[in-house]
Amino acid sequence: MDSMVNQKTVLAVTDDVVLPVSSVLTIMKELGKEVIERFDPLIITQASTINQFPLDASSVDAVLAISKTSDFPSDKICGEFSRILKPGGTVFVCKVLEGETGEMQQTIQRRVTLAGFLEPQCLDLKSIKLSTFSLSFGIKAKKPSWKIGSSFALKKPAKVLLKVNLDDDLDLIDEDSLLTEEDLKKPQLPVASGCETTKKACKNCVCGRAEIEEKAVKLGLTEDQIENPQSSCGSCGLGDAFRCGTCPYKGLPPFKLGEKVSLSQNFLEADI
């Protein structure tokens, strides 16, 4: 009775036409001795032509795939391995190949990884002696221990407050100590002098105001007339037809030079 309870189910598949039971027993004793002690092998040949294995989901403890071509097991077959294996079950893929096997190892590892298997490991199987064929290498991987549709509660990370350690012995720099006496002095505003602070040109005028005032005296101009700007062409009073492009009187009516320019009351009124 105990032997029946401890007995495991192993599925052996191959893309060949014949797979001896003795070869399956020899390989599983070498590879699955740490996983399965007693097992009842189920053998399926020409598995590359099968779309779905005639087994229920999560009904097999281990899968042994013996391949003689580079296309087996395909991505779809690896997905079938994952379907029929029990959670935590193991898959063994053994290749009967000669020559360079590095690229093929990476291909098989990729296929079982995409099928959802964990921890793919490469195995050297040249030491296993079989009567009908010789093995080159193998890939061992495990199905996750959880079932499809299982849910797990995620633990929220504990909130860790940022701690700032202040060292009382740490030397702090006083910002005021970085300032010099020159930096603390109140800036002195420049004192206005010369013609800017007087109504008339100063005694030693160099800005040209004294010359303008002398010319105004000769012409008999008033102070308001002096403040009216004049261009260098002297045609400001003749109208826009005679004024230059930068004339300050552009757009104003004609006037007599020396007189203060004044606008009529209706100058700013709309024409319409």
Please, are residues 216 and 226 in contact by the beta-carbon 8 Å criterion? yes
Tell me the torsion sign for CA atoms 227, 231, 234, 237. negative
Please, are residues 14 and 45 in contact by the beta-carbon 8 Å criterion? yes
- Please check if 244 is assigned to a binding site: yes
Please, are residues 112 and 144 in contact by the beta-carbon 8 Å criterion? no
Q: Please report where in the chains the tokens 């970085």 appear, as a residue.
A: 178
CA distance 64 to 55: 15
- Please check if 122 is assigned to a binding site: no
- Please check if 94 is assigned to a binding site: no
Closest by CA to 200, choosing from 209, 188, 189, is: 209
Please, are residues 47 and 14 in contact by the beta-carbon 8 Å criterion? yes
- Please check if 195 is assigned to a binding site: yes
Q: Please report where in the chains the tokens 């509660």 appear, as a residue.
A: 153
- Please check if 78 is assigned to a binding site: no
User: Cis ω on the peptide bond leading into residue 73 (within 30° of 0)?
Assistant: yes
Which residues line the annotated binding site for [4Fe-4S] cluster? 233, 236, 244, 247
Which residues line the annotated binding site for [2Fe-2S] cluster? 195, 202, 205, 207
Which residues line the annotated binding site? 195, 202, 205, 207, 233, 236, 244, 247
